[in-house]
Amino acid sequence: MKKNSLSNFLNGKGFYAALALCLVGAGTAAWVVVDKTLGSITEPSAPPEASSIVEEDASWGFPEQLEEAGKEKSGIEISSSSSSSESTSSSSPEQSSAAPEPSEQQTLSLEPQISAFALPIKSAEVFNQYSAGELVKNTTLDKWCTHDGIDLKAEVGTEVLCAADGTVSRIYDNGIWGKTIEVSHAGELTSIYSGLEKEVMVKEGDTVAVGQAIGKVGETNLAEAKLEPHLHFAMKQAGKFVDPLQTMGKI
């Protein structure tokens, strides 16, 4: 009779009541466990204040020893490598302060300049111009060639004047151009006087002035013998022929 009553109770509302009690008990036990676990966990320490972070970062990531070394310079032992670097750095200002050596272009610009020029023949007529490398007909030789100077009309015996201050560098007899005098001037300039008389008024090594007579017009210029009497006058700059009139500023 009792077994039937218990079965009826479990099959009815009693079953649900028992299930509810079990759930409540399980929930209570779980809560107790969680509460104890939370209680055993310690709270995290508060983050450092902003001022302390700034102080720690003041060394910019370098070791504290380096920071202290920067604050206290006295009593620091300097190694040989650091001393050598300091000597190098101390000597560098002296080296940089030294005046740089002038370049080749600057050196050329510092050479003495020619103050004045004069035509070798006073009031002379130029009847053959400098050809600037172009071929022209030479009527005496009957061939085309360059004319590397100018021809100044002058009677035989007319004095030939030095074109600028300088030094007589060469006096020689050329098989084609005849008696020739070369005078060296400042700035690697050379003046050349051809077709002179055999006897000249200067010798090699003489210092000559602008307008000074150095010889006379002769008849020794075989390359232009068919032309009227004249002086063949040329100029070289650094060993290369240049226009005499343009160089002297006469055009």
Confidence (pLDDT) at 200:
98
Q: Which of 181-187's residues contact partners 24+ apart within 8 Å by CB, and which partners?
A: 181/214, 181/215, 183/208, 183/214, 185/114, 186/111, 186/112, 186/113, 186/114, 187/108, 187/111, 187/112, 187/113, 187/114, 187/237
pLDDT recorded at residue 6: 53
Residue 130 and residue 147: Cα distance in Å, rounded? 6
Instruction: Note the pTM of the prediction, 2 decimals.
Output: 0.57
CA atoms within 13 A on the CB side of 67: 10
- Residue 169 burial class via C-beta count within 10 angstroms: exposed 0-12, middle 13-18, buried 19 and up: middle
User: Could you list the pLDDT tens digit for every one of the 251 residues in the chain?
Assistant: 545 555 555 555 566 666 666 776 666 666 665 566 555 554 544 444 444 333 444 333 434 443 444 444 444 444 444 444 444 444 444 554 555 555 544 444 444 577 799 999 998 899 999 999 999 999 999 999 999 999 999 999 999 999 999 999 999 999 999 999 999 999 999 999 999 999 999 999 999 999 999 999 999 999 999 999 999 999 999 999 999 999 999 85
Choices 3.40.462.20, 1.10.287.610, 3.50.50.60, 2.70.70.10: CATH for 126-248: 2.70.70.10
pLDDT digits (tens, 9 = 90+) for 49-106: 444 333 444 333 434 443 444 444 444 444 444 444 444 444 444 554 555 555 544 4
- Phi and psi at 11, nearest 5°, equal -75, -20
Confidence (pLDDT) at 39: 58
Q: Domain coordinates of the chain in residue numbers?
A: 1-92, 126-248
